Amino acid sequence: MAKRRQAVTIKHVASDAGVSLQTVSRVVNKEPGVRPEMASRVQASIDKLGYVPSIAAQRMAGSRSYLILALNDRERTIADWRARQGTDWLDQMLLGGMLTCAEHGYRMIVELVDTHSDHIERELMGAIAALQPDGVILTPPHSGNPLIINLLAAQGISFARIGSLTEGPGIRLIMDDTRAARIATEHLIAQGHRRIGFIAGPDDYELSAWRVDGWREAMAAADLEAVDLLGDGDFSYASGRAAAQALLALTRPPTAIIGGNDQMTLATLDVARERGMNVPRDLSVISFDDTPIIRLARPPVTAVVQPIAEVSARAVSLIIADLGQSPHDGTPVTVAAQLTLRESTAPPVAVENGT
C-alpha cells in the first residue's frame, strides 16, 4: 500500500492564496481578525483545492479532535444485535447523535464497554488515549457509574450522562421516567383500573427506580394499594415471565400491568395468553419502551415512547456548546417522553375496589 499523505494541506492553500499558514488556519477556524478580502481569497483557494483539515493534525497541534465517543454497554448491545428483535436504542441514538455531530463538523464513534468489568478504567482510558475525543456520551448504566464519571472529569473531557441523576460532574439528561410512569398509570386509573401491577427493571439502571416511583405516586394519589403489585425483573424476557406469572397468580390479581421495558412487557403478553386471558379485555398492558416488537405485537401495545434520538441530539449540542463559550451549568435537562395509545389497554371488565 502506497504511503498516503494528505493530498492537499494547509501549505498548499497558503501558497495558492499567497498568505501564511496562520492566516489559512484562522480562516478555517473562523477566528476573528482577518480582513474580509483576505478571508475570501483564502476561502476561494480552499474551495478550489478542496482542502479539508486533517483532524489528526488538528488534534496533534492541541486543538480539537472533532470526535465524540458514544459509550454503550457491551453485553447488552451485542445481545440486542444478536437477538435481532428490532431493539433500536442504539439506532435512535445514532439518528440523533450522528446527525447533530455532522451539523457541527463532528463525528460520533460508538464504543462498547463492559459494565461489570473490573478494568473499565483501563478500557476507557485506552479509548480516550487512542481517540482523544472532545466529548463522551454516557448511556445507562454507565451514566451513573462514579468511576467513569470521575475519570472523565479528571481528564477534563466534556461529557453527557443520559438517564442518570446521580450527583457529580457531567451534563445530565433525562426523559423524565417518573412522569412518564405516572402518566401511564393515570391513564389506566382513568380507565377504571384499580389493581395495576408494575414490573421493575434492575437496580443498576437508575431509571428503573424512577419508573417505579412514578407508578407509586400515581397509585398513592388515587388512594390505591400498590405494595403487593410490584414485580421484580431485570429487563430480560425470562424475568418478565416470572414477574407476570407471580402477579397474575395473586389472590386479587391486577387488571393491568405496566412492563418496565419491552421484553418484560412481551413476556407479560405471552403469560396472559397462556393463561387464557385476552388482552386488553382481561388484562391491560403498557410497555415502557416503544420498540418495533411492541408496535408489531398482537395486539399492538400502548407504550411510553422514549425520545432517544432527541436526547442524543441534545447531548451532542450541549457537549459542543460546553466545549466552547458556554460551559454547562449542571442543571439536568429533561426531554419529555410520551404515551402512545394502542390496542392493549381498555377498561377492566369488572371494576374491583382498591384496598
Interface contacts to a second copy, rule CB under 8 A: 1-8, 50-57, 59-60, 62, 65-66, 78, 80-82, 84-86, 88, 90-92, 94-95, 98-99, 102, 107-112, 122, 125-126, 129-132, 155-158, 290-293, 295-298, 309, 322-323, 327
Toward DNA, which CB reaches closer, 129 or 227?
Answer: 129
Residue matched to cell numbers 444478536: 82
As separate numbers, helices (DSSP H) first and strands (DSSP E) second, the chain gives 14, 12
Name the grid cell of 80. Answer: 440486542
Tell me how far the alpha carbon of residue 262 is from its chain's centroid: 15
Shortest reach from residue 266's CB to DNA, in Å? 47
Q: Is 261 in the site for DNA (CB under 7 A)?
A: no
Toward a second copy, which CB reaches closer, 97 or 201?
Answer: 97
Contact 207, 334 (CB under 8 A): no
Query: Which amino acid type is present at position 8?
Result: V
Alpha-carbon Rg of the chain, whole angstroms? 25
Among 1, 2, 5, 167, binds DNA (CB under 7 A): 5
**Residue-by-residue DSSP string for 41-93:** HHHHHHHHHT----HHHHHHTTS---EEEEEEEHHHHHHHHHHTS---HHHHH
Binding mask 45-74 for DNA (x = CB under 7 A): ------x-xx--xx-xxxx-----------
11-50 positions binding DNA, by CB under 7 A: 11, 19-26, 28-29, 32-35, 38-39
Toward DNA, which CB reaches closer, 9 or 85?
Answer: 9
Q: Compute the distance between CA of residue 113 and CA of residue 118 in angstroms, rounded to an integer.
A: 11
State the residues that interact with DNA by CB under 7 A.
3, 5-6, 9-11, 19-26, 28-29, 32-35, 38-39, 51, 53-54, 57-58, 60-63
